[in-house]
Amino acid sequence: MATSFWKARDFLFCGVCGTLLDLDNIRYASCPLCGFKRMAKDIEDKETRYSITAEDMRRQLKTQPFVDVVVQKTVIDGTCPKCKHNKLEYDQRQLRSADEGATTFYECPKCNYRFNEN
């Protein structure tokens, strides 16, 4: 694993409680537990060049729970791939810049199964 990743990774944990910061917002990472915020700019200013996207982070840290700050959820007709429930909730968020499109996350309200489509 690249050293730069682990350096950048240190900045992604809450300085107060050590929780993995939520990097969904491109401007800052915030702690889902205590609200601690770290500006993305601060991360860039550190010794490592911050070239890793939030998406890369999530892939690397997939053992961490998916932490959400959900802006809004919409209920749609759809079938849960897991339990076949006939309603799904979804929310859309920008993972990177506004130019690169959004990822839609679906969640089954019944079994809480989550998946996304690009």
How far apart are the C-alpha atoms of 57 and 31, rounded to whole Å?
15
- The 3-state DSSP class for residue 73 equals coil
Residue 24-63 contact track with Zn ion, rule CB under 5 A, x = bound: -------x-xx-x---------------------------
Q: How many residues bind Zn ion (CB under 5 A)?
A: 16
Which of 39-47, 78-86, 90-98, 99-107 is the region at the interface with Zn ion (rule: CB under 5 A)?
A: 78-86
How far apart are the C-alpha atoms of 10 and 15, rounded to whole Å?
10
Please, what is the minimum distance in Å from the beta carbon of residue 38 to Zn ion? 10
Element at 5 (helix H, strand E): helix 3-10
Please, what is the minimum distance in Å from the beta carbon of residue 8 to Zn ion? 18
Which of 11-19, 37-45, 62-70, 90-98 is the region at the interface with Zn ion (rule: CB under 5 A)?
A: 11-19
How far apart are the C-alpha atoms of 77 and 65, rounded to whole Å?
26
Beta bridge partners of 72: none
Judged by beta carbon, residue 8 or residue 31, the one nearer Zn ion is 31
Out of 6, 17, 45, 114, point to the residue binding Zn ion (CB under 5 A): 17
As a 3-state breakdown, the chain gives helix, strand, coil percent values, each rounded to 5, of 20, 25, 55
Judged by beta carbon, residue 51 or residue 79, the one nearer Zn ion is 79
